[in-house]
Structure 1
Amino acid sequence: MHSILSSANCPGGIKLATNFVSVPKVIWLLWLQGWERAPEIVQASQDSWSNRNLGWKVWLLDRDSLATVIPRDQLNWILHSNIPLEALSDLIRLELLHRYGGVWADATTICSKPLDYWLNQFVQEGFFAFDHPGPDRMISTWFLAAHRGSYIVERWREAAAHYWYDRGERDEYFWLHKLFGQIYETDVHFKSIWNSVPKISAVHQFHFSPDSPSLYSPPSPVHNDGLVSPSLPVFKLTHKLSRPTRGDSLMNAIIAFAKQEQITKISLSYRRVLVTWYGSFGHGTIGDLRSMESVVTHLHALGHQVSHATDLDVEIPGCRRVNWRTVDPVLFDCVVFVCGPIIRSHIQSSRLFSRFSSSCIAGVGVSLFSPDHLNYYNPFQAVFARQGADKDYGDVAIVAPKPLKTKRLQRKRNPRIGIVLRGKQAEYGEERCLWAETETLVLRTAWAVTNNMQAEIRAIENHLVHSTGSPDEIEQHYAECDLILTSRFHGAIEALRSGVPFIAIDQIKGGAKVMPLLSRLGWHHVYKVEDVNLDTIAEAASSLLSDPMRSQLLAAGNEAIARANETLQSLSEWVAGVSVR
């Protein structure tokens, strides 16, 4: 058992965790029936999380406000199925942690220690839950913490959606715990992650079951000591009591403890943020879109008032879609441009930057040319660029929310190869852009493998306007493949999002974006077009269809996720420092 009493450096003897990306400072509390009608212990829970976590955004959600954080179609499926009330909250907690990360706390938990004092050292694997509340349950679900892109959350969410597909009732009360255990036994990577998570027992003197007799009695000496100097970070209470409690009861003592205010107060100041991208000009790719969604959802969860300038029909819960050409720049404290190359000769983006030149502007996940290049342009006060700046940040598309899939994907018997081609890139010059040679190589490879293995070929269009499918349908095309051959950077990222092995070819002589960005992830099947031939790529393709290298693929995905979360954290720190207009 991992002890949290490790140092006297912080109040209560808990050592602050440092030197890694922190969990998004978001706390999710839910009382479906409405907070104004919530029992006293639920109100006390809200007070404890708000009072002891200064600098964190605390969301008080109910049935009505869920639409501000969960897409309408997913919310309709969750709320309008024949799912018991407790199971609804199980699905909702996984959906929120998937989309935003942060902390889920049941509305009957009491925060006894500020999260900043202890949590980050326990969530280095991307996930934390209290351990073994009972012999038949590996974890408790009343407190969960996760980074965006957590593998445990992703697999658990997927399994929960499959569980409720075409089902009207659960087979047992602890169905979600049972699913966790089943995934643990069948998924080696899931098992490895959970085994590496530091453990704190869910069973302790401040964990109470419904109608617990001790809640009606005066506090014991142990409970009094625990309230004066808490050693446990979270208490688990219950609102299910059969009779009123007396004034000197343990329940009332805990409620009084929960309502204590901190001496130090921090007034959170939220910013009005406009997020722009290539979709602001009526085009863009699936990678551009997912990057924009990552930034918008991240800032929205932190409490900022976020608008996105999108010409396409894209809706994001709780955020406003605007036209950058007509909206008043003074309505925003800062502007963020997300994803893609920043090109001096690009007329539409230059007009956008000119229109908002009086604003603080940041670039996120962008690529800058070298200062001596004809197309070099840097209009940003802050830049979190994936290449071309002093520090290279991670692309953020990989942690964008995914659609909720209630049906299991049915794989065809014959392997399927997806082809995702970039086409001509004039900004790098005619001599360097070997796009025609690259496309010929990719197509010849696909046909060679098809002849040898009876594989199918599917062309996938990443461009949102040119594609005949919706963004979710584009991603579905990736997921239905067994191998992706691509000359697009985001073709590789989409493959990682879908857990599909890929071969990426940088079509710019000497390497431009694909090679340097993907080589950081540790995936070996990334090549410069001038360094490979048909035999090399065909052999690699046949090998990956026989052995998808799942462990290496997951490692590359985890690296991309870690880099994306670092980028988002740096962005949120910058936004918080922007002056309010």
Structure 2
Amino acid sequence: MRVLLTGWAGFTRGEASAGDVLSLHAVSDTLTEAGIAHVTAWSPGFLPGEPSLDDCPPEDFTHLVFACGPLHGDQVRELHERYAGCARIAVGVSVPDPADPAATGFDAVFPRDDGDARSADLSLAGRVGSPPVVAVVLAPDQPEYGDARRHSAVHDTLTEWLRSVDCGRIPLDTRLATDDWRHCATPDQFVAVLSRVDVVVSTRLHGLVLGLKAGIPVLAVDPIAGGGKVSAQGAVLDWPVLPADSTPDDLTARLDWCCCAEARARAAGEHPFPGPLGELVGELKGLS
């Protein structure tokens, strides 16, 4: 017996949702524990370099297992045509129309829901790790810095690096809005969000300041050549800020530090009170 395992995350025109991928992992683990040889086929757009359906000729397999998602559409029906010589089984799937050829083409269906039967989703059986959760706060262009701006290059390096880091990424914007649910409406809401993550990655001054206000370590990068207001604020707050020409290795080393106990304790400590507030009051009283 040789099993080909796939699902919607294996289709070129499909999508790899977290639930679908975790469901495929759960089925793969189950087959491995049972001693059943199998190959998981992934979309090359999601996991290039891993086996895809094009890499899996029908004659190499005795069984096809399709996990998670709806039994609907041309791509599912095409599986029946390509793997007609295999015994075909669907597991943990939704069956919106039991008479659809996408569903009737399977020799056995163990549904998640089909109008009558209901079962817990396969993803609940999948094993998950605990990667850090990272809030990403990027600065706008900031034309006031003229030719010293390095925002485009810094953000390209930063976002390409983030793509390779095993972390949960949450893009955030310090801009508040009362007419757009995608933005926080108050500073309290924004700081509350920051307080729930493990690390803040930011090229923006208030990403640094509010991250520390929330007691969260900040991987701060100054997008200005020679240093701008992010570096200046880092000096005031005694918090390290990387320069604009930092490399991916620099970013990795700083993230590792931000995840350590020393950085967490330092971020959670007391931070300086803004001196200009006292100076403002003194100035106003001196003018009265």
Q: TM-score, length-normalised on structure 1? A: 0.26
TM-score normalised according to structure 2 size: 0.50
